[in-house]
Amino acid sequence: MTWIEWYDSLAKPTWTPAPQTIGTIWQIIYPIIMVSFAAVLIQWLRGKVPGIVALPFAINLLANLLFTRIQFELRNLPLAAIDIVVVWATIIWCMLAIWPHLKWVALAQIPYFVWVSIATWLQLWITFNNWGK
């Protein structure tokens, strides 16, 4: 069974966005993530931002990149739910950590946070309603 057939077979709430919508939203958000995270990395490399400030960005990026593999390759809903909660929590951590240094980076995370909040709720719903599938 392909990943899309598997995903289509899962119980989902009526408000679930179409896969194309989800893809479009990520196409908008990923450039924001890339630019803002790159700014943090550059400032960290220049010694203008402490490593502890850059840490949540690194954790967030790793967790974000792992989600697709966990969800669609491993098809592990509980682990995907944990992963997306990590993504969600680290966005908050990122915003709080960077605020004193680069306020625009903290503000740039707002669309990412809003979307991941929706995606987290969706993932938790899917996980609990498809437990063991």
pLDDT per position as a tens digit, 64-109: 999 999 999 999 999 999 999 999 999 999 999 999 999 999 999 9
Q: In the chain, what are the domain boundaries?
A: 30-129
Q: How far apart are CA 56 and CA 22, in angstroms?
A: 24
Look at residue 133 and tell me whether its pLDDT is greater than 70: no
Contact present, 87 and 63 (Cβ < 8 Å): yes
> Considering the entire predicted model, what is its pTM?
0.94
Residues in the chain: 133
Q: How confident is the model at residue 131 (pLDDT cuts 50, 70, 90)?
A: confident
Q: Which of 127, 104, 119, 122 is nearest to 25 (CA)?
A: 119
DSSP category for residue 1: -
**How far apart, in Å, do the first and last CA atoms of the chain sit?**
13
69 within 8 A of 42, measured Cβ to Cβ: no
Count Cβ atoms below 10 Å from residue 31 Cβ, excluding itself: 10
Residue 11 CB neighbours (<10 A): 11
